[in-house]
Amino acid sequence: MGNGLFLLNGTVRALDGTVAEGVACREGRVVALGRSEELRALVQAGDEVVDLSGRLVLPAFSDAHCHFAAFALSRREVDLRGVTSLAEAVRRVGAVAAQGRGWITGRGWLHDAWGGQQPTRQLLDQLVPNRPVALWRNDHHAVWVNSLALALAGITATTPDPPGGVILREANGEPSGVLLERAAELVRRRIPTPSVAELADAIVQAAPLAHREGIAAVYCPEGLAAYQAYRLLHQQGRLPLRVGMCLATDDFEAERALLAAEGQGDAWLHWTHLKLYADGALGPRTAWMLEPYDDDQANTGVVVTPPEELGAWIRRAAAHGVGCAIHAIGDAANRAVLDQLAATRAHWAPAGLRPRIEHTQCLHPADIPRFAALGVVASLQPIHALQDMPVAVRAWGKRVLTAYPLRSLLESGARLAFGSDAPVETLSVLAGLRAACLPSEEGTVASAWQAAQTVPLAAAVAAYTRGAAWAEGREHERGTLTPGALADLVVLDRDLLALPIEALREVQVVGTVIGGQWVYRNFPA
């Protein structure tokens, strides 16, 4: 009896140059592509045969930078995304103040959308004096807390800024209620963490949202706690997505022991890199810049990990056969990371390790060719360019011309991998494709800059498939639909690569297959 899946009478783009009418899958792998009548001859009793009626099949999408466990948990928290006033943010927190006990957590606020009004602890104290509150900014590089949360974390007027972090303060030195970068860890470590089983259940409940976006695989820089939840699901045969995991510096020894005992994993769950942080983020003005911010002339950002320490971690990880994925937003941070990767190249390059710079948001023009020259993956989230436009222009001025430099990096020969950074931004791959390929219609200076960095649709699709797989070292089984590849497929309602680029606005995901099994389907038989 067969257990195969045959998708016929459509357009199948394998992304290796092959275009066919159909694809045959068996035992979780692609076995053949070809004309529909040729593939019908391979059908056995028990196989599922689906008429695509002209729809498009591509390799399933991979989200090359996604905090999926955090995304899963965020669905249970106060949602401050899209809130356009400080008053509304406070109202949303107050609405849950009487529900339950313990910490109130949330995420998604953006003070730039509030006319520059800064959140304070007093605003939260008025509504929630008896429960600790911790609300993460949309980029997760700042947390807004109330006085009780500060007290539980032991933060007072005399508490020094921790290395790589900043405690924002009032004129009298008292903490304002906003903690930047590693200062946020003083509060984070006080918040009770969900059990492994609870986190695993949240991941399973959130997975259908990824499936509806055509996503079969996620790359997660989340560390040991998230890995334990994914590992539990894998052991139970319930892991709903393929997951690439980063090690974390805080748990490096425990993670290294797991690597030694269990290896780097399999097609469903595997370790890929060590996650490091060079700097902060644009929103709180903690991205590390070569020159001061246009709207904050006394500030060049925050060095979260000094360059020498970055180099030491790169060498240490390479000794255990692990590459590094390094968060860098500002032009100084990106340059420092490239410098350290160049200085340590003899440690990682002979082992075939594939270093990545995560976000790569603002580059000095001289540093753009260095990605291809060194063999460094540029891991970008195109949706950030659209969301950050107004802030980036105010903060970076003319430097935006080489910010979110998708086209500049592509034309330089760099390898690109695209992701969402969810829950910071939407999980939608189609939204990411639109951000990467369609110029903004706002008619502003910022939109003209973003339009200059758009890329061809084929290149963007490749960055969500082949590029993402290559960055994880999984290109032998993911990212194309060549025979022998994993049967991870996405079905779209039309052939977006054969239509005018404007048609991208109308394209929809109508089906997702992982390992030869439907995980989402929204079109008739």
Per residue in 335-375, pLDDT (tens digit) is 999 999 999 999 999 999 999 999 999 999 999 999 999 99
pLDDT of residue 441: 61
pLDDT digits (tens, 9 = 90+) for 427-486: 999 999 999 999 876 556 566 777 889 999 999 999 999 999 999 999 999 999 999 999
For residue 212 the two structure tokens come to 């509806």
**Residue 206 predicted with pLDDT over 70:** yes
Amino acid at 359: H
Residue count of the chain, please give it: 525
pLDDT digits (tens, 9 = 90+) for 243-254: 999 999 999 999
CA distance 81 to 107: 7
CA distance 327 to 281: 9
Architecture category of domain 196-472 in CATH: Alpha-Beta Barrel (3.20)
Instruction: Kindly state the percentage of the chain with pLDDT values over 90.
Output: 78
Q: How high is the mean pLDDT of the chain?
A: 93
**What are the extents of the domains in the chain?**
5-54+482-521, 77-188, 196-472
For residue 421 the two structure tokens come to 């950074």
Average pLDDT of span 283-289: 94
Contact between residue 248 and residue 255 where contact means Cβ atoms under 8 Å apart: yes
Question: Where does 77-188 sit in CATH, by number?
Answer: 3.10.310.70
Average pLDDT of span 415-420: 98
Amino acid at 218: V
Contact between residue 216 and residue 488 where contact means Cβ atoms under 8 Å apart: yes
Contact between residue 267 and residue 477 where contact means Cβ atoms under 8 Å apart: yes
Q: Give the model's confidence band at 525: pLDDT under 50 very low, under 70 low, under 90 confident, else very high.
A: confident
Average pLDDT of span 489-502: 95
Contact between residue 409 and residue 459 where contact means Cβ atoms under 8 Å apart: no
pLDDT of residue 447: 66
Coil, strand, or helix at residue 127?
A: helix
Residue with the two structure tokens 């590693």: 182
Give 15's DSSP letter. Answer: S
In angstroms, what CA-CA distances link 417 with 103, 108, 467?
A: 36, 24, 5
CA distance 410 to 417: 11
pLDDT digits (tens, 9 = 90+) for 138-188: 888 899 999 999 999 999 999 999 998 999 999 999 999 999 988 999 999
Contact between residue 139 and residue 283 where contact means Cβ atoms under 8 Å apart: yes
pLDDT of residue 296: 94
Give 25's DSSP letter. Answer: E
Q: Give the model's confidence band at 199: pLDDT under 50 very low, under 70 low, under 90 confident, else very high.
A: very high
pLDDT of residue 446: 61
CA distance 169 to 157: 8
CA distance 161 to 96: 31
In angstroms, what CA-CA distances link 218 with 160, 333, 422?
A: 37, 25, 10
Q: Higher pLDDT residue, 112 or 481?
A: 481
pTM: 0.89
Q: Give the model's confidence band at 306: pLDDT under 50 very low, under 70 low, under 90 confident, else very high.
A: very high
Q: Which residues does 361 contact at the CB level (< 8 Å), separation at least 6?
A: 282, 287, 328, 329, 330, 380, 384, 388, 403, 404
For residue 283 the two structure tokens come to 């929103």
Burial (Cβ within 10 Å: 0-12, 13-18, ≥19) of residue 289:
buried
Q: Give the model's confidence band at 242: pLDDT under 50 very low, under 70 low, under 90 confident, else very high.
A: very high
For residue 196 the two structure tokens come to 């492994």
Q: Which CATH fold topology does 5-54+482-521 show?
A: Urease, subunit C; domain 1 (2.30.40)
pLDDT digits (tens, 9 = 90+) for 14-72: 999 999 999 999 999 999 999 999 999 999 999 999 999 999 999 999 999 999 999 99
CA distance 81 to 67: 16
Maximal C-alpha separation, the chain: 80
Cis peptide bond N-terminal to 192, omega within 30:
no
Q: Torsions phi, psi of 195, nearest 5?
A: -70, 165
pLDDT of residue 448: 72
The lowest-confidence range among 64-68, 231-235, 423-427 is: 423-427
Amino acid at 103: W
Examine domains 5-54+482-521 and 196-472 and report if their fold is the same.
no
pLDDT digits (tens, 9 = 90+) for 65-104: 999 999 999 888 888 888 888 889 888 888 888 777 889 9
pLDDT of residue 101: 80
Average pLDDT of span 278-291: 95
Q: Give the model's confidence band at 297: pLDDT under 50 very low, under 70 low, under 90 confident, else very high.
A: very high
pLDDT of residue 96: 82
